[in-house]
Structure 1
């Protein structure tokens, strides 16, 4: 297994530009258990043998043992099934440690359905060689059109009232391309607000030269 860890989306991935998710301006944050995901999510249609590029994100899930801040670009994911019918994910991205030091890194992981009744509630698992253990995190598909836009959510810590700890709320937008249309941006804003995250906290991922997946 490739010994690199980023994520989302690892991302998914301690490539960490921390952002502070903000609660929505109006309304009450829903309990995490009540957050709806993509109805009838179809993993194979979602995978489709084509990479998904990370376009926007509020922050990257931190990786224990890798605490340095780095600049990331060209992060993308490719989902598939292996010969044993296991759902897998390959993640690749460019990491810049200094102005003169940038390189592509890769990570291989597996994907599991966290809830059979809600197949869009996925969970990713990557091996972290820095700690000789696995990094796992939620990867809920709030919305996908399977062709050009996917919005992914993760909550890694809930509060006593069942809502997500604001510091543990993660959201990523994915595209088969490298940009989003005005209509897609509106959809992202709606979904971000529905999970109490201010769309203004989202950071843009630059895509100039794609990293190889293999």
Structure 2
């Protein structure tokens, strides 16, 4: 009896594992339908992030997207990063975006460059999983796939137009999307420390206007 029960448990676990793997196949993830880069353009502040392996921006992350005359999207982004384990610098990055499939504009490819010799350059997918254009956006990139099509090494950012946070109703929608891209529970808050960075960077190049109160805070009108 015990042997049969054990065999049943093993079969059930194997089935659950296969089901999870199938639901986490990256190519099955949906992105924002009919993504409109013109509405997406403007300033965004990162509130949460799931880091990839290796070096990544740590806090005070912001990005500003603009649309060129030819309709292509470019961005300038900023954030603090720690190099060599001790050197904290303000990283300025630039990026250009292309759309491999015009029928799916929410799935873009991003070429990025660090605007200093000690910052990296490269390319990643840039998928806009969801956005309402006015409040929040969820971006996703998978750098390395497993044999089963799920993601081995990827990252995601939760952006807001307001560095102080998002209302609870939007937070619930975002958590649902985090589950859909198989990253639930893997995100960490992104500090937006505002004027406190002015003492370190006199020009305020890494400082967001205002401050992030908390992920659970609802912004109030000034």
TM-score, normalization by structure 2: 0.68
Determine the C-alpha separation between the residues in 2 that align with 1:192 and 1:133: 27
What's the CA shift for 1:175? 0.3
Runs of 4+ in 1 over 6 A off after TM superposition: none
Secondary structure class of the residue paired with 1:172:
strand
1:34 aligns with 2:28: yes
Quick one: distance in 1 between partners of 2:145 and 2:159?
25
Question: What is residue 115 of structure 1 aligned with on the other side?
Answer: 101
Q: What is aligned with 2:132?
A: 145
- How far is the alpha carbon of 1:96 from its aligned partner? 5.7
Tell me which residue corresponds to 2:157.
Answer: 172
Find out whether 1:157 has 2:149 as its counterpart.
no
Q: Which structure shows the bigger proportion of residues in helix conformation?
A: 2
Shift of 1:83: 4.8
Alignment partner of 1:45 is 2:39: yes
Computing the radius of gyration from Cα coordinates, the structure with the larger value is 2
Give ranges in structure 2 of 5+ residues lacking alignment.
Answer: 1-15, 196-203, 207-222
Q: How many residues align?
A: 178
- In structure 1, distance between residues paired with 2:35 and 2:120: 29
For residue 125 of structure 1, the aligned residue among 93, 111, 129 is 111
What is the match of residue 211 of structure 2? none
Distance 1:96 1:132 in 2: 11
Higher relative contact order (Cα pairs below 8 Å, separated by 6+ residues): 1
Residues 37 and 67 of structure 2 are in contact (CA less than 8 Å); yes or no, is this contact kept in structure 1?
no
**Which SS does the other structure have where 1:44 is aligned?**
helix
Instruction: Give the Å deviation of 1:26.
Output: 11
Task: After TM superposition, give the deviation of residue 127 of structure 1 in Å.
Answer: 2.6
- Matches of 2:17 and 2:40, distance apart in 1: 32
Task: Please list the CA deviations of residues 77-98 of structure 1 after superposition, one character each: whole Å capped at 9, or x if unmatched.
Answer: 1111235543211001234669
